[in-house]
Amino acid sequence: MKRTLMLTALVFLLNASSYSQILKPITWSYVAKKMSATEATLYIKASLEKGWHLYSQNVGEGGPVATSFYFPASKLYDMVGRTIEPKPIKKFEPVFMMEVSYFETTAIFQQKVKLKGKQATVKGSVKFMVCNDKQCLPPSEIFFSIPVK
């Protein structure tokens, strides 16, 4: 009896753990390219697993959480303009009852920086939300440091 009960509990735990896997359908990568002695462009790339999408920075009120970038002030550099995004896919989403803009597969965001010295490490974060046709994951925030040499 004990053996059967333990075997049943083990099967239940193994089965439950297969359903409780942490989903990470997006990865982020970063690189900086110097354009001159005083200017650089940051490239912030989102890579998505098939079937998942990331929302644009430009999402209307009442829609999903828009992707947003935060760069704290620094004595080493200044941000130049806003973060640029690629052209998104636009589609009416019944869940949100509105047209939304999003990216599939990859999206490369660009941010220009004016350097105050020869080198800097740009720190910041990106807040985002990803969905597929079955679910949306809670909004996440990722922190990053991008060396500019």
pLDDT of residue 21: 61
pLDDT in tens, 87-98: 999 999 888 899
pLDDT in tens, 1-44: 444 333 333 333 334 344 446 789 999 999 999 999 999 999 99
CA dihedral 110, 114, 120, 124 (to 10 degrees): -50
Q: Cβ distance 85 to 111 under 8 Å?
A: no
pLDDT of residue 103: 98
Q: Count Cβ atoms below 10 Å from residue 79 Cβ, excluding itself.
A: 17
**DSSP bridge pairs for 34:** 40
Full set of structural domains in the chain with CATH: 24-148 (2.60.40.1250)
| Cα gap 86→25, rounded to integer Å | 20
Share of the chain above pLDDT 90, in %: 77
| Cα gap 103→106, rounded to integer Å | 7
